[in-house]
Amino acid sequence: AQKVTQAQTEISVVEKEDVTLDCVYETRDTTYYLFWYKQPPSGELVFLIRRNSFDEQNEISGRYSWNFQKSTSSFNFTITASQVVDSAVYFCALSERGGGFKTIFGAGTRLFVKA
């Protein structure tokens, strides 16, 4: 069965600090996708990134970067030089072929960035 664990419930940082959000997943499938979503205080979930199980290359998009490591079943998300606008709940998610590719979400990590 697929499972996503986000052990950090809440993180608080001061603006301009770097912060890493951890995500550990479980799957017995060899074909799967990993995702990160952002839910700002306004409430609407926004898709950030998708990686497939055959591509372990890390990705950088501006201040955001993602580190996918199959050896540790982790898909961590780093925000560099955090800003107040990064304050949100961040969800890691997994969809696997065996589950019909429906997406299961972690419990989320609430990030507070203080000015």
Partner 1 sequence: GAGVSQSPSNKVTEKGKDVELRCDPISGHTALYWYRQSLGQGLEFLIYFQGNSAPDKSGLPSDRFSAERTGGSVSTLTIQRTQQEDSAVYLCASSPGGGGYGYTFGSGTRLTVV
Nearest approach in angstroms of CB 44 to partner 1 is: 5
Strand-pair category, 74-79 with 64-69: antiparallel
Nearest approach in angstroms of CB 85 to partner 1 is: 19
Angle at Cα 57 formed by Cα 54 and Cα 58, nearest 5°?
A: 135
Is residue 5 a contact residue for partner 1 (CB under 8 A)? no
Is residue 33 a contact residue for partner 1 (CB under 8 A)? yes
Q: What is the dihedral of CA 82, 58, 42, 84, to 10 degrees?
A: 0
**Do residues 75 and 66 make contact, with C-beta atoms less than 8 angstroms apart?**
yes
Options 50, 64, 87, 112; binder of partner 1; rule CB under 8 A: 50
Query: How many angstroms separate the CA atoms of 9 and 64, rounded?
Result: 20
Nearest approach in angstroms of CB 29 to partner 1 is: 11
Options 12, 30, 47, 72; binder of partner 1; rule CB under 8 A: 47
Letters for 84-103 (x = contact with partner 1 by CB under 8 A, - = none) are -------x---x----xxxx
Q: Can you name the residues that pair with 50 across neighbouring β-strands?
A: 35
Binding-site ranges for partner 1 (CB under 8 A): 32-33, 35, 37, 43-47, 49-50, 52, 91, 95, 100-108
